[in-house]
Amino acid sequence: MKQIDKHPVSITNSLTGKKEIFKPITPGFVSMYVCGPTVYNDVHLGNVRTFLTFDIVSRYFRFLGYKVRYVRNITDVGHLENDADEGEDKIAKKARLEQLEPMEIVKYYTEGFHEVMRQFNILPPSIEPSATGHIVEQIEITKKLLEKGLAYESNGSVYFNVRKYNEENHYGILSGRNIEELMASGRELDNQDEKREKIDFALWKKASPYHIMRWPSPWGDGFPGWHIECTVMSTKYLGETFDIHGGGMDLKFPHHECEIAQATGATGKAPVNYWLHSNMLTVNGQKMSKSLGNSFLPRELFAGTHKLLDKGYGPMAVRFFMLQSHYSSTLDFSNEALQAAEKGFKKLINALGLLKRVEPAPGAKTSEISSEFNRLTEECYRNMSDDFNTAKTLAVLFEMASRINDLKSGNIKLADLDGDTFATFKSTFIGFVENVLGLQEESEQNDETLKGTIELLIELRKKSRTDKNFALSDKIRDDLKKLGIQVKDGKDGEMTYSFE
Ligand code: AMP
Ligand code: ZN
């Protein structure tokens, strides 16, 4: 039986609030869209938590044998300040302040975002479309919503008519909000007269003469509203209805509620079968956010330079720290938790190294120990298939790590284990640690700068040998050894190195 059939995955669907067995539209194929970053700022650790959640989701589906088409966008226009329909475009504002072209801002922060994703071993999506690359489609859907009477033009801008939509549909289906309450609680907007009602939201905004990011449209020069880009890019690449839509919990309303309304209004179909929301990373109980001033940048975390940190932590220890909680719970940052995570991560990686060196002994034996090993293997799948429970999966991996240490100490004899059981145990442990949870040895071994520096020292050592300066050659070898880097001399003066 294939892993896909053996391990049905359950997902807590924000649309129903219930845990449901995942049934893809196309068997064996998962279509997934996740709201990506707005590229006007460095990503902070909170953003990383959300992208990590969906990295795990896509990795696990792939591990089970699904084909996954994962689309994650880049918001490079249209996201206004305070997530509202008023104020300046976040990217245009940064460009104005730094006297740069908006696309210079976009390129700089997109590259920074990719670098952070790479450091945390968050795999790239299958498609990474940008809002500015889909202006035509955003204009087209806006026209369609106007034709259907679900939008109206006002002073060169176009707004979605929430009340009209709600006559035949349910605005609030995802967030549980009630439009009458929203009307009562909505704050006054400066250009209230442009919108018919406070809850209406922009599909297209008229550009003021000074607005730099602008495109021609049937309603004059302007730019798209924030929500419409995700509707356009998700349905363009995944179809009018696709399997999973994800994002941080804070995007549920208004962003995702508006996405549902726009897509349902345009196509008559619900766009998404399963909505998944990742909970917030908090600092002393408060959401980590740039505007609250409590955010850390990944580089501050690695270097330990932030005032709330007592030392630096590597990206893998941080990844481990985040995986110790379920994505649907809030996760509070703390030095103590990070320190514990660093220890736990090392323990797991040590067990991984040990296990890689153990080969199953030939011959089939059946024993109580074999059934214990089989149980642990099954539990990894059971916990991950239970709504991607990384916390419980890690707990099982620790039990497995103890068994691996028992094998090393001789408490358990390999000869008492059934060969197939051990082989499955081994491939499951390695697969869950490396492929599903994406944990790998801490980056010093992967750091390009470090590698380059070692190679340079090795070149100098070769040169010192040719010059018969053996004292220097030995010094380089011995000093590298003190740093945990072993240089081995091969044939014909070749040298290789490894980390101890
Ligand atoms: P932004 O670039 O602000 O649009 O955010 C990118 C993603 O990070 C969105 O999915 C947000 O929901 C998510 N996000 C923002 N702050 C946090 C936080 N403190 N914890 C977890 N996710 C967050
Ligand atoms: Zn979005």
Q: pLDDT for 265-301, tens place per residue?
A: 999 999 999 999 999 999 989 999 988 889 989 999 9
Nearest ligand to the CA atom of 42:
1
pLDDT digits (tens, 9 = 90+) for 4-28: 999 999 999 999 999 999 999 999 9
Nearest ligand to the CA atom of 257:
2
What's the whole-number mean pLDDT along residues 196-220?
A: 93
What's the whole-number mean pLDDT along residues 199-225?
A: 93
Atom of ligand 1 nearest to the CA of 39: 2
What's the whole-number mean pLDDT along residues 343-351?
A: 96
- Please report, for residues 155, 318, 358, 371, 403, the alpha-carbon distance to residue 355 in angstroms, rounded to integers and kept in the order given: 68, 23, 5, 18, 10
pLDDT digits (tens, 9 = 90+) for 393-414: 999 999 999 999 999 999 998 8
Predicted confidence band at 365 (pLDDT cuts at 50, 70, 90)?
confident
What's the whole-number mean pLDDT along residues 245-259?
A: 97
User: For residue 498, is pLDDT > 80?
Assistant: no
Enclosing H/E stretch for 303: helix 298-303
> In this structure, which residues have their CB less than 5 angstroms from ion ligand 2?
35, 230
Residue nearest to atom 15 of ligand 1 (CA): 47
What's the whole-number mean pLDDT along residues 164-175?
A: 96
User: Which of 45, 47, 116, 331 for mutating ligand 1's site (highest number of atoms within 8 Å of CB)?
Assistant: 47
User: For residue 187, is pLDDT > 60?
Assistant: no
Predicted confidence band at 243 (pLDDT cuts at 50, 70, 90)?
very high
Looking at residue 162, what is its pLDDT?
A: 96
Rounded Cα distance between 318 and 327, Å, is 15
Tell me the pTM. 0.88
The C-alpha angle with vertex 19 and arms to 18 and 22, in degrees rounded to 5, equals 125
**All residues at 6 or more sequence positions from 196 whose CB lies less than 8 Å from its CB, including other chains:** 152, 154, 159, 161, 163
Looking at residue 139, what is its pLDDT?
A: 98
- Fold topology of 2-278: Rossmann fold (3.40.50)
Of 146-150, 180-184, 339-343, 387-391, which gets the smallest average pLDDT?
Answer: 180-184
Residue nearest to atom 18 of ligand 1 (CA): 46
Give ranges for CATH 1.10.730.10 in the chain. Answer: 282-436
Of 121-130, 158-167, 260-269, 440-449, which gets the smallest average pLDDT?
Answer: 440-449
Nearest ligand to the CA atom of 258:
2
- Tell me if 415 sits within 8 A of 360, measured CB to CB: no
Atom of ligand 1 nearest to the CA of 37: 2
Residues in contact with ligand 1 (CB, 6 Å cut-off): 35, 37-38, 46-47, 49-50, 247-248, 250-251, 280-281, 287-289
Closest CA to 166 of 267, 83, 275, 264: 264
Residue 54 Cα to ligand 2 midpoint, Å, equals 14
Nearest ligand to the CA atom of 234:
2
Residue 250 Cα to ligand 1 midpoint, Å, equals 7
Atom of ligand 1 nearest to the CA of 288: 19
Atom of ligand 1 nearest to the CA of 34: 10
Q: Which residue has the higher pLDDT, 304 or 397?
A: 397
Residue nearest to atom 11 of ligand 1 (CA): 248
Looking at residue 33, what is its pLDDT?
A: 98
Residue 198 Cα to ligand 2 midpoint, Å, equals 21
Question: Around Cβ 260, how many Cβ atoms within 10 Å?
Answer: 25
Residue 399 Cα to ligand 2 midpoint, Å, equals 39
Looking at residue 455, what is its pLDDT?
A: 85
Residue 493 Cα to ligand 2 midpoint, Å, equals 56
User: For residue 447, is pLDDT > 70?
Assistant: no
- Tell me if 243 sits within 8 A of 32, measured CB to CB: yes
Residue 300 Cα to ligand 1 midpoint, Å, equals 18
Residues of the chain above pLDDT 90, percent: 71
Give ranges for CATH 3.40.50.620 in the chain. Answer: 2-278
Looking at residue 411, what is its pLDDT?
A: 93
Residue 256 Cα to ligand 2 midpoint, Å, equals 7
- Tell me if 357 sits within 8 A of 404, measured CB to CB: no
Q: Residue 384 has which token pair?
A: 């991950």
Q: Residue 132 has which token pair?
A: 């500015």
Q: Residue 471 has which token pair?
A: 């004292």
Residue nearest to atom 5 of ligand 1 (CA): 37
**All residues at 6 or more sequence positions from 471 whose CB lies less than 8 Å from its CB, including other chains:** none
Predicted confidence band at 444 (pLDDT cuts at 50, 70, 90)?
low
User: For residue 191, is pLDDT > 80?
Assistant: no
Enclosing H/E stretch for 477: helix 470-482
Atom of ligand 1 nearest to the CA of 248: 12
Superfamily classification of domain 282-436: Isoleucyl-tRNA Synthetase; Domain 1 (1.10.730.10)
Tell how strand 157-160 and strand 151-154 pair up.
Answer: antiparallel
Looking at residue 215, what is its pLDDT?
A: 96
User: For residue 46, is pLDDT > 80?
Assistant: yes
What's the whole-number mean pLDDT along residues 439-447?
A: 71
Closest CA to 159 of 37, 271, 261: 261
pLDDT digits (tens, 9 = 90+) for 73-125: 999 987 887 677 777 888 888 888 888 888 999 999 999 999 999 999 999 99
Looking at residue 204, what is its pLDDT?
A: 96
Question: Around Cβ 257, how many Cβ atoms within 10 Å?
Answer: 23
User: Which of 34, 38, 48, 50 for mutating ligand 1's site (highest number of atoms within 8 Å of CB)?
Assistant: 50
Residue 47 Cα to ligand 1 midpoint, Å, equals 4
Match 């790998």 to its residue by tokens.
440
Residue 3 Cα to ligand 2 midpoint, Å, equals 32
Q: Is the peptide bond before 8 cis (omega within 30 degrees of 0)?
A: no
492: DSSP letter: G
User: For residue 188, is pLDDT > 60?
Assistant: no
Average predicted confidence (pLDDT) for the chain: 92
Rounded Cα distance between 11 and 275, Å, is 9
Residue 224 Cα to ligand 2 midpoint, Å, equals 13
Looking at residue 497, what is its pLDDT?
A: 82
